[in-house]
Structure formats: C-alpha cells, structure tokens
A and B are shown apart, each in its own frame.
Chain A
Amino acid sequence: MVALGEDKPRPYEECMPDIFEISIDDLKHLVSERAVSGETMLLNMGPQHPSTHGVLRLLLELDGEIVVNCIPDIGFLHTGIEKNMEAKTYQKAEVMTDRLDYLNTVGNNLAYSMAVEKLVDLDVPARAQSLRVILCELQRIASHLIWLGTAALDVAAMSTFLYCFREREDILDILELVSGQRMMTTYIRPGGVWRDVPVEFEKAVRDFLKMMPKRVDQYEALLTRNPLFLDRTLGIGKISGADALNVGMTGPGLRASGVNWDLRKARPYAGYEQYEFEVPTRAEGDVYARYLVRVQEMRESLKIVEQALDKMPLGPVRSNNHKFIPPPRSEIGVSMEALIHHFKLWTEGFNAPKGFVYSAVESPRGELGVYLESDGGPKPYRVHWRTPSFDNLQAMPLMTKGVFVADLVAIIGSIDIVLGDVDR
C-alpha cells in the first residue's frame, strides 16, 4: 500500500489500521454462541461470488463445512426504481419496470399495465390479450431456461448452461422481432401492446414450439436421472408447505412444497382461463422437486403458447380510448382532436382518478404484484412492487440449516432469485 507522495511501501504493521475489520461483537445478535467463542467459522459469501446469482451477500456460520447459520444480506443492487417511478408519468414510468426483474421483462410490463388499466379503467382488445399471454409464456420459458442453466452450473453440470442459453437466444430473437429489443422490450403497454406483431412472428413461434420439446427432453436426459445430480438435489433444502406459506414464498418453490397456488389458475388474468394447462406440483419441497416443477412448467408453457397462437383473433391490439392511449401517427396529421391528445399525453400525461390498485401476475418466480396509489395527478403518488424473489429469499435461512456449503449453492440456485427483483 503506497500513499500518495511516498516512494516506497510502508511496512505491513503501519498499514494494519487501514484494513477494516468488523468485530464479532457487532454480529453477536445474528450468530450463535459458538461463533463468538471461535468454535465455528464466519464466512462471507458474496456479494462477489460466482454462485450468489448477482450480488447477494450471505454471512455464513460454518461448523467445518456445515452451515449453522445463514444470514442473507441484500441491498447491493438497490436501484431506487420504485421511487423513480413516482417521478414519472404513468406512460413513462413503464420503461423502469423492465429493469426490475430483468429475466421477466414482459411479465413486469404486464403487471404494471394491468395496474394502470385497473386504475383508469381501460379495456384491452382480445388480440392484445393473446399476444400478452404468448409473450409472457415465452418469457417464462426463457427465464426458466436461465434458471435451469445456472442451477445446473451451480452443481457444476456446465454444458447444460450453454444449451439453455442457446434456446433462450431463440426466444430473445422473437422478442426482438416484435419489439425491436431483446430484453428491455416495454412491449406490453397500458391498454394493449405497443403495436401488432410482424407477419414472421407466427412462423418464428411455431418453429420454436416444434423445436423446444425435444430440447427439454435433452436437458432432462442430462439431469433428471443422473445419479450425481440426484445425489446433489434429493432431500436437500427441504421446506414444508406451511413454512413456505409463512415466509411468503410463491411460485414454483411453493408449488414444489405441495401448495397448488398459481395466479394464472387462482385469479386468472389476461384470458388465462381460456387455456388448458396443468399446474405442476410436487409434495417433497426439496431442490429436486423444484427442478421437476420448473421443467414441467416449461412444457406447460409451451402448451399455453400453442393454444394462444391457435386462438389468436384478428383485430386491434391497443385500446382506442385516446384519453389514455396516444392516437396512431396517421391520425395526427388529419385530426385536430388526435393532435391535441398526442400533445397532452406526451407533455403532461393523463390524470388518473384518486385511489389505489393492486394487481398481480404469476411471474416465473412467483407472485409479482404492483401497488399503485394515485393522488389524482398524472404521476403515481406511491408505487410498490411485491416482488417474488424478495419473499422467496426469506426461506433461505430455513432451508439451509445444517446443510453443506456445496448444498447451500444448490439451494440458492433452486430458489431462483434475481437480485434486480430483490432490491429494486
């Protein structure tokens, strides 16, 4: 360590005060007695660690390699999105939603659009609803692919990771086709979707539907009956359905603990009630059960996409209530009223009636809800996101009692957290 103006390094002892050390007394309330006496070891896992899926920090108390206590520490990816959204009009705030859970961008758009629609009472055309379902389910598959790849990588099955990314690439291409963007699409908007899909869309999705089941079979061939994978996942990170409900878990993690709760079935939105699909559940509640549930969900999502594509009607894709939805460019040149709407909407936005709404969708990770409170102005007074990763992460300390460090990594992988979703 050389300070400015010095030409030779200072001796080690002099540098010592520069090394910041936290004393065990500061952590006493978090760890067991044995850590204070030095019998167990405290290990800082993250925020820069290859398998904490972003910037999660875990303070581990280890007895040898056995986890005695696991204390998640979050906030390293705090982006202030909720607060930022309060400073923007309802239309402009939507761009922020993509950045929350960056693996479920379309689903975030949907949750937010549904909340705005509820707030100002907008109707959504049938074609837009179908498109929303198709894209959300494709996004769910893409998200589960990332999860499968990284969860497999966490137990060191490294090829699965790249195979999953290969298929995810096809989904991102479809998203690019419809919105011009691969990830941050902002495609679903209040009142429908941004614009109609291009003609190539149907073929692209059908090709994907044809290819994907075989690929899922391939992943399963690599993992499902692999003795080493079974050994790493069976009976690891168990959580009972009651415990899972208590900490607020939702999504595949909850369904793998035997609780059949899926918002698409329980509180259908965007026309999910028209489609036939199963909600896969398992009773065991361990890492392997969560793996099976998610893989099965990918197959079910393919079914939904296929049905939605078959049933997709023709027609408009966005509500024509121009008090809230900007009029199309072609009308602006010929209609005075359209020009005024356009001007008003892009300068001050629309005023939402006073009140609050909550709307939730089933994201790949669980219940993704958005709470909007309006004070009658063009900007939301309060925005709050109920993000699934945050609540699912609460189950970490319960799941990790007495497991090995290696299992801990597998468990983090099986919860499928996205830190952008946790910290927002």
Chain B
Amino acid sequence: MTFASILEWLIKGFVWVMILLGGFAYLTYYERRALARIQVRIGPNRAGPLGLLQPIADAIKLIFKEELMPARADKLLFFLAPIITLTPALVITAVVPFGPEGLNFPLFGRVITWQIADINVGILYIMSIASIAVYGIVLAGWSSNNKYAMLGGLRSTAQMISYELALGLSFVSVIVLADSTRMIDIVEAQKSMWFMVLQPVGMVIFLIATLAEVNRSPFDMPEAEQELAAGYHSEYGGMKFALLFMAEYDKMIAICIIAATIFFGGYREFWFLQNTWFSVDQTPILGPVYVFIKVFILLFGMIWVRATLPRIRYDRLMAFGWKILLPLSLALVFLTATGILLAQEVNPLFMWGIPVVSLAAGFIAILGMYQTLRRKEHARA
C-alpha cells in the first residue's frame, strides 16, 4: 500500500460520496414527481424549472432548522445514531464495479479502475456492511426517549433478523452461479445471460428482502407514519433528520446498484444489444450509463410499490420472512447447485432446469401464501 494508492482511494471515495449525496437529493425529487404522477397530482414544480431546485431548497431549509434535543434523551447516542445510519449507506457500494476493464485508464503510472475497492470477497463485504445500518435505527429509536420511536426501533430489529437470512441466501445462489464472490467476476459471468433469467425467484427474493432491509414500503414499519407518527425519527429535526433521511435514500440507491450488479448484468449491456456498437466490449464508456439506466428503472419499481401496496403488519412480516422466504431461498440454493452440477457432469441444457424448477418452487410458495389467507377467510366467518 503506497501513498499513491491511498490518495487514489481517497479521491475516488470523495467523488463517489459526492455523487451519492447529490443522487440522494435528486432521488427525493424523482420520487416525489413519480409518486405525484401515479397519484394524479403534479408534485414539486415551483422551485426552478420543473421544480428541479426543490431538493436544494429543502436542503437549505433543513440546514437552518433548529436542532432540538429531547429532554432525557441519551445525548451521545442521539447524536451518533444518524451518523451510524448514514455511514454504511455511503460505503456499501465501494466494491461495485461501474465500468469494464476496457474503460480503465493509466494516470501517473497507475491504472485507475472504475471501482473504489476491488476486493475478492465483495459480496461478503456488502452483507456485513448492510447489517450495520440497523444499529443506527435502533439506537435512534432508543436514545430519543420516545415511546413511538422505541417501538419503531424495535420493529426494525425484528425486521432485520427476519430478512437478513433470506437476503444472504439469495446472495449464495448468485455466488454459486458466478463461481466467485468478486463483484467483477459476477458481472462478467452475466456476459451472455443475466442472473435474472437464470435465477428469477432468487431475484424476487432479493428485491423483497432488500425492500425490508432499507425499510421501504410495504416494509416501512420502523417509521410507519400512520401507526407510529414518524417511528424512529420522531424526535429528530433539522440536519440530524436530514441525515437519517439521507441514509434511507442512499440505501435505496445502494441496494438498487447492488441488485443491478448481481442480477441485471451490472455495467454489461442489455441482452439485445450484444455484439453491436452498444455493447460495452466495443464501447466501454457505456458501462456507467447502463448502470445508471438500470438503477433508474429499479428505483422506479420501488416508488411504484410504495404508491400501490398497503403496509404489511410486522408479525406477518416476520412470519413471511421465516416461513416462506427462508425455506424458499434455501431450496433455491440447493436447486441452483444441483442444476450447475448436472450441467457440468451430464448436459449443459440442465442449466435451464434452474429457472424452470425454481419458478415452480416460487409458485408453490405463492400458493401456500394464498392458502393461509383462504384459511383466515374461512376462519373469520
């Protein structure tokens, strides 16, 4: 480790954090506009052309708001909680590659890659960082000496415990498919086919589990405004609230980037653009653009879900996590491994057995869910 490499990390990290912070601001704008469009409203359109300056106006407002410290709050933890929440959201994407090797360029005798840290256990890094974020929420809820906030923080732990396992297991299917935990290898393994196609149910589980992980609707129980007023951030105002808010939206962006990387081909082109001028092999500069497009679409999916679905109750959420997602994702790991073994030993066509059989398993799980609902319907009469 030389001074130059440290400097490179610092500069890259700084640039990336800046991008994330700006992205957060404009994600709130994007969400508000998209939600408004879905809900036959207009959305923010006053500040600047098309309301584009709205996030800046919001930021200025929040910065100048008075910081309040509730009486009998644990002052240190109350102060630290937003920081603990925000930091993982900012660093989690450090291992994600944004461009192919063809885009790397030499600078001062060093090869600059489109990735902050190329570590060979990239996925493990993501998993470990992802589980830190919940501490901030729990501490925020506990330290503010507010019953609503505490309920929110406790819900958050329950939720995290139930979903971490399914999330981890859906990573395992990807690791098995890519035969590596290094992020670049995972992206390159999707050169001919996205893992979305090979492991569609795994993708759905990943998306559900990450929605729960970042506390987004329909799993936004820690802050459920209809139940807990504002949940864990009830007592936060001004910039501390902005940090918690920022953490939530940066986690959304981070999760979408990770989803794009491990299931939707990362910086690789869309499948129908293979072997054309638009493929990243021929035009490497398109790599980051593809990541951006995929993240944009995935974020819209999250917003759409928020606009449409009711919130799930938190005991039902845990039941869903433990009784359906966990067995299902375990089964998927088994199916994927078996499929790959058969494809290597017997016939490559067995690869196609993975999506078919896992779709069948997913179908059975959905049937099971409907069956419990039907039982409930019969039982209530």
Contacts and interface: CB of A to CB of B under 8 A. Distances in A.
Interface of A: 12, 15, 19, 41, 43, 49-51, 65, 152-159, 161-163, 166, 222-223, 226-232, 234-235, 238, 283-284, 286, 288, 404-409
Contacts of A228: 218, 309-312
A50 B40 contact: no
B376 A159 contact: no
Given A227-B373, A234-B373, A405 B151 contact: yes
A406 B309 contact: no
A89 B174 CA distance: 78
Interface string B188-227: 0000000000000000000000000000011011001111
Contacts of A238: 380
Contacts of A406: 221, 224, 227, 311, 313-314
8 contacts: A223-B310, A227-B370, A228-B310, A228-B312, A232-B312, A283-B381, A405-B151, A408-B227
A288 B381 CA distance: 12
Contacts of A65: 151, 155, 314
Interface string B301-330: 000001111111111100000000000000
A152 B310 contact: yes
A354 B380 CA distance: 52
A234 B229 contact: no
Given A49-B229, A404-B314, A405-B151, A156 B217 contact: yes
B310 A157 contact: yes
Contact of B313 (A227, A232, A286): A232
Nearest to A64: B154
A169 to B, nearest CB: 10
B102 to A, nearest CB: 44
A156 B381 contact: no
A136 B224 CA distance: 36
Contact of B310 (A12, A15, A163, A226): A226
Interface string B23-34: 000000000000
A421 B217 CA distance: 33
B218 A51 contact: no
A231 B71 contact: no
B147 interface: yes
Contacts of A288: 380
B132 to A, nearest CB: 25
Contact of B309 (A166, A226, A286): A226
A208 to B, nearest CB: 17
Nearest to A403: B313
Given A51-B227, A406-B227, A409-B226, A166 B313 contact: no
B40 A162 contact: yes
Contact of A407 (B41, B147, B312, B313): B313
B381 A158 contact: no
A226 B224 CA distance: 19
B15 interface: no
Nearest to B372: A231
B345 interface: no
A19 B373 contact: no
Counting from the closest, the 10 A-B pairs by CB-CB distance are: A156-B311, A235-B380, A155-B310, A162-B39, A157-B310, A51-B226, A228-B310, A406-B313, A159-B307, A159-B39
A49 B229 CA distance: 6
A284 to B, nearest CB: 5
Most buried by B among A15, A226, A228, A235: A228
A392 B308 CA distance: 30
Contacts of B379: 235
A163 B370 CA distance: 28
Interface in B345-380: 369-370, 373, 376-377, 379-380
Contacts of B227: 51, 405-406, 408-409
A146 B243 CA distance: 35
A268 to B, nearest CB: 31
B308 to A, nearest CB: 6
B381 A227 contact: no
A161 B40 CA distance: 11
B228 interface: yes
Contacts of B63: none
A19 B71 contact: yes
B308 A157 contact: yes
B39 A158 contact: yes
B4 interface: no
Nearest to B147: A43
A134 B268 CA distance: 62
B39 A50 contact: no
A22 to B, nearest CB: 14
Contacts of B381: 283-284
Contact of B369 (A157, A159, A223, A227): A227
A127 B226 CA distance: 44
Nearest to A222: B308
B372 to A, nearest CB: 9
A222 B309 CA distance: 8
A215 to B, nearest CB: 12
A12 to B, nearest CB: 7
A258 B155 CA distance: 36
A51 B227 CA distance: 7
A275 B155 CA distance: 51
A2 to B, nearest CB: 13
A156 B376 contact: no
Interface in B36-73: 38-41, 71
